[in-house]
Structure 1
Amino acid sequence: MASSEVATRAPESDAQEDTQTKGDGEAISGIEGDTKPDQGAASMGEVTKFNDIDVYVTKPPDYPHSPSKLLLLLTGGTGVHSTNNQLQADKYAEEGFLVVMPDQFAGDPAPTTTTTAQAEEKPSIIEQVKLGVASVAKSFSIDMWLARHTPEKVLPLLQKVLASVKEEFADAVANGGGIYAVGYCFGARYVLLLGSDLHQDVAEGLRNPEAQAEEGMVTQGPQIKAGAIAHGTQIAKEDMAALKVPVCIVAVENDNLFPDEEREQGRKAMEEAKLEHEMKVYSGVPHGFAVYGDYQDDKIAQAQGEAFQQMLAWLKAH
């Protein structure tokens, strides 16, 4: 991807643009993890380590007395220690999934900029300058962050977690006939990659998926049984065209981080390949809306619930 494209496709890079005002006048973004969790809400799982990688694990209340299915949850840039991401994982656990949510970023989540401003109709020149400088600085920080977290770095990490999961929770993997996966924002593309036939050198982090493969390179089959993703970032139509497993896609209309044209080309590619898929485009909501949070806008809160039920139904049906 060209460097000029990164800033517009980076997770959370639109945080200064898609804002809503909470009742106390605090400006918040619609980006995943930026909203406040419910007051008094506490996650029910625990952070442990698989192959020296931080992993949040949350289980159904009756596990292991009742059979469960294994769900790999890949987060947006806010990462495994985000309360909202942990609560999101808990929601799937309450529905019967044993959820494993790995730290894809090796302790280096995406940089964030919290901006508090008065609810002014027309900010002063000074405030506009401050917001502009903050936006540019954040965009640069996100670009640098993305450069540190490429498929060459993330895929080997996920392979290590999957190897541990298959051993630690063999019963849940067997019960589901494989591993299910759900991904939000940054994590969405990696659900697609894990649901594709990857050349071995790509899976091991020795080559970027876009680079040409050597002749005769061994391929590795899909690592998941089925997937569901929401408002992905850095996804190209080629990622969808390469899919080999059923997928549910939640998207946002006019989302610069997952452009309509790219999404539609990917949809056509999946149709031509006769791949089982479901796609729903939500309008009037910001990128990141599907992640659990204490949304003050009723429309966003309702859409978040609908998206969760859509993705959950897809996973349960497969």
Structure 2
Amino acid sequence: MSGPMCDSCFTGVRHEGEPEGKIEQIAGIECYVATPSGEYDKAKVVLFLTDVFGIPLINNKLLADDFARNGYRTVMPDLFQGEPLPRTSCWMTRHGPESWHPVVDGVVAALKAEGISWIGTTGYCFGAPPAWRLALSGDAKVTVVSHPSRLRVPEDLEEYAQKAKAPLLINSCEEDKAFPAEAQAKGDDILGGGKFAPGYERTYWPGCSHGFAVRGDMSNPQVKAGKEGSFEATVKFFNRYKSL
């Protein structure tokens, strides 16, 4: 998976709020963990796979908290091992698949060892390939990606259709150089219309650009609708397939 990233992958608006989760070590990896305040299914986890801003971005932590409010313990591993984005070619080189594979695999193995039997992934931008990987390996029961980057089109879409068993939701938008209209249409062509038996959906948010689901400008009504709507669609998708 070595598709494109774009300028919008590295920009956005910081949201306001006070995170409620905690930093924990899982398999020696720093993770932000948001836990529901009431009763919840201890065998289920949402694995939150971040954009390039990682755990330090408050927006990511607030979204994890929102999943916890909807009844899912949510684990956000540090994909960048203490080095979230400075946008340089060296940074991109250091954070290729060989750097995040052991992070993701280690956290997943530790979660399974503690009794987790259902993992739903939600991958944003940079987090889409890790989510893809866990679907292809059979570790994820449900996959959601929002404004994905670094996916090869059509190769990765075709591989998902052929090998994955996890239902897939893609939250897409109007302006997205990393996953443009042609890629969105290709996804529908390969996976839609009942062709992908486990289940496929794609939401489309007009007036939104890459990053809208995490780093959008909430003063813009269309972007606010896209951010909130894609989150709602993600939770509903998890709920629909939580018995897998």
Give 2:13's aligned amino acid.
T
1:238 correspondence with 2:178: no
Residues 275/238 of structure 1: CA separation in 2 closer, same or farther (3 Å cut)? farther
1:88 correspondence with 2:63: yes
- Partner SS state of residue 234, structure 1: coil
Residues in 2 aligned to 1:292 and 1:45: alpha-carbon distance in whole angstroms: 19
Q: 1:158: which partner in 2?
A: 104
Residues in 2 aligned to 1:222 and 1:263: alpha-carbon distance in whole angstroms: 24
1:42 Cα deviation from its structure 2 partner: 0.9
Q: 1:316: which partner in 2?
A: 239
Q: 2:183: which partner in 1?
A: 262
1:292 Cα deviation from its structure 2 partner: 6.1
User: RMSD of the TM alignment (CA)?
Assistant: 2.1
2:200 to 274, 277, 293: 277
Give 2:18's aligned amino acid.
A
Residues in 1 aligned to 2:240 and 2:57: alpha-carbon distance in whole angstroms: 29
Residues in 2 aligned to 1:101 and 1:304: alpha-carbon distance in whole angstroms: 19
Residues in 2 aligned to 1:80 and 1:145: alpha-carbon distance in whole angstroms: 17
Post-superposition Cα deviations, 1:72-105, rounded to whole Å, max 9, x if no partner, equal 0101000012111000000000000000100011
1:146 to 84, 92, 117: 92
Residues 305/14 of structure 1: CA separation in 2 closer, same or farther (3 Å cut)? closer
Q: 1:167: which partner in 2?
A: 113
Residues in 2 aligned to 1:294 and 1:309: alpha-carbon distance in whole angstroms: 18
Residues in 1 aligned to 2:198 and 2:156: alpha-carbon distance in whole angstroms: 13
1:287 correspondence with 2:233: no
Post-superposition Cα deviations, 1:170-209, rounded to whole Å, max 9, x if no partner, equal 2xx24xxx2111111110222112101xxxxxxxxxxxxx
Contact 1:87 1:292 in 2 (8 A): no
Q: 1:110: which partner in 2?
A: 85
Q: 1:53: which partner in 2?
A: 29
Q: 1:253: which partner in 2?
A: 174
- Partner SS state of residue 89, structure 1: helix
Q: 2:123: which partner in 1?
A: 183
Give 1:163's aligned amino acid.
A
Contact 2:175 2:210 in 1 (8 A): no
Residues in 2 aligned to 1:77 and 1:307: alpha-carbon distance in whole angstroms: 19
Aligned residues: 233
Residues 257/181 of structure 1: CA separation in 2 closer, same or farther (3 Å cut)? same
1:227 correspondence with 2:143: yes
1:225 Cα deviation from its structure 2 partner: 0.3
Gaps of 5+ in 1: 16-28, 112-137, 197-220
> What are the residue-to-residue correspondences of 1:187-198 with 2, within 5 Å?
187-196=127-136
Contact 2:41 2:72 in 1 (8 A): no
1:71 Cα deviation from its structure 2 partner: 0.7
1:238 Cα deviation from its structure 2 partner: 2.1
- Partner SS state of residue 235, structure 1: coil
Higher radius of gyration, 1 or 2: 1
User: TM-score by structure 2 length?
Assistant: 0.87
- Partner SS state of residue 30, structure 2: strand
Q: 2:49: which partner in 1?
A: 74
Residues 293/86 of structure 1: CA separation in 2 closer, same or farther (3 Å cut)? farther
Residues in 1 aligned to 2:240 and 2:198: alpha-carbon distance in whole angstroms: 16
Post-superposition Cα deviations, 1:86-139, rounded to whole Å, max 9, x if no partner, equal 00000000000000100011111112xxxxxxxxxxxxxxxxxxxxxxxxxx5x
Q: 1:10: which partner in 2?
A: 5
Of Structure 1 and Structure 2, which has the larger fraction of its residues in strand?
2
Q: Percent identity?
A: 28
Q: 2:13: which partner in 1?
A: 35
Residues in 2 aligned to 1:73 and 1:194: alpha-carbon distance in whole angstroms: 12
Residues in 2 aligned to 1:260 and 1:145: alpha-carbon distance in whole angstroms: 28
1:312 Cα deviation from its structure 2 partner: 0.9
Give 1:81's aligned amino acid.
P
- Partner SS state of residue 195, structure 1: helix
